[in-house]
Amino acid sequence: MRVAVIGGTGLVGRHTVDALRAGGHDAVAVSRRSGVDLSTGEGLDAALDGVEAVIDVCNTNATDRAEVERFFAAETENLLAAEQRAGVGHHVLLSIAGVDSVTGNAHYAGKRVQQAMVSDGAIPWTIVAATQFYEFGAMVAGWTRDGDRAVVPPLLMQPIAVVDVAATLVEVAVGRPLGRLIEIAGPDTHDLVDMTRRTLTARGDQVRLVASWRGGPLGVEMAGEVLLPGDGARIAATTFEDWLAGQPG
């Protein structure tokens, strides 16, 4: 099957393109590097030529809520319109578990815009809502790092390996559209501070971590069990320890 991966050069996108090709599918990696600008729609019609299913894993670095919402609204509108012109039969969106419970986070607000547009749109769809990736600890420390110190909030999560996210996206995309959201998570719960410390130690990075809900973009409304998957979530196999063992030292 010919499948377009929107954001195919990013962290999830690269693994998704690899998983599609390993499964014998024809993967089209779509991003600015391939001449497509999702914000304007430029290049999308050519990129979707002959495509039967689309997996949207694009992202924005914006942190301002209105800017994030504008990005995801524009890219989803341009993408769904181009899919309709191309006769695409299945739109698969990667979202995040718990976006409806966390209203103050700018990125989550953008993901809610995407989810609403996809589920109200004309293209048959499936939304895959994943928990945080194992890379999340290092990512958060990177946002708040100041010299040898970084602030990391003590989030309770059930994170997942990106390879497992990619495998699920491919399995879903080549199947029939479900018209609903499914959740995916890793096998164990973790505390973000502990996960970050173990990741940075494995990489030989000496950073003093300060556990706090203040001084970063992840607010205290993310405390408790709001980020944990629901009862019906699919549980992937790769553990944090498996993932950590594969990190460059």
Ligand X SMILES: NC(=O)c1ccc[n+]([C@@H]2O[C@H](COP(=O)([O-])OP(=O)(O)OC[C@H]3O[C@@H](n4cnc5c(N)ncnc54)[C@H](OP(=O)(O)O)[C@@H]3O)[C@@H](O)[C@H]2O)c1
Contact between 196 and 45 (Cβ < 8 Å): no
* C-beta closer to ligand X: residue 43 or 148: 43
Min. distance of Cβ 110 from ligand X in angstroms? 8
Point out which residues bind ligand X (CB under 6 A). 7-13, 31-33, 36-39, 57-60, 94, 96, 111, 130, 132-133, 136
Min. distance of Cβ 69 from ligand X in angstroms? 13
* C-beta closer to ligand X: residue 67 or 206: 67
- Strands 149-152 and 2-6 come out as unpaired
* C-beta closer to ligand X: residue 45 or 147: 45
Burial of residue 177 (CB within 10 Å: 0-12, 13-18, 19+) is middle
* C-beta closer to ligand X: residue 133 or 243: 133
Three-state SS string over 86-126 comes to: HCCCEEEEEEECCCCCCCCCHHHHHHHHHHHHHHHCCCCEE
* C-beta closer to ligand X: residue 31 or 168: 31
Structure tokens at 180: 């609903």
Contact between 10 and 36 (Cβ < 8 Å): no
Min. distance of Cβ 153 from ligand X in angstroms? 14
Q: Which residue is nearest to ligand X (CB)?
A: 10
Q: Rounded CA gap, 73 and 80, in Å?
A: 11
Min. distance of Cβ 166 from ligand X in angstroms? 10
* C-beta closer to ligand X: residue 58 or 102: 58
Within 13 Å of residue 134, how many CA atoms lie on the same side as its CB?
24
| Kind and range of the H or E run holding 231 | none
Min. distance of Cβ 83 from ligand X in angstroms? 15
Min. distance of Cβ 180 from ligand X in angstroms? 17
Query: Among 10, 70, 9, which residue's Cα sits nearest to residue 39?
Result: 70
Structure tokens at 249: 């030292």
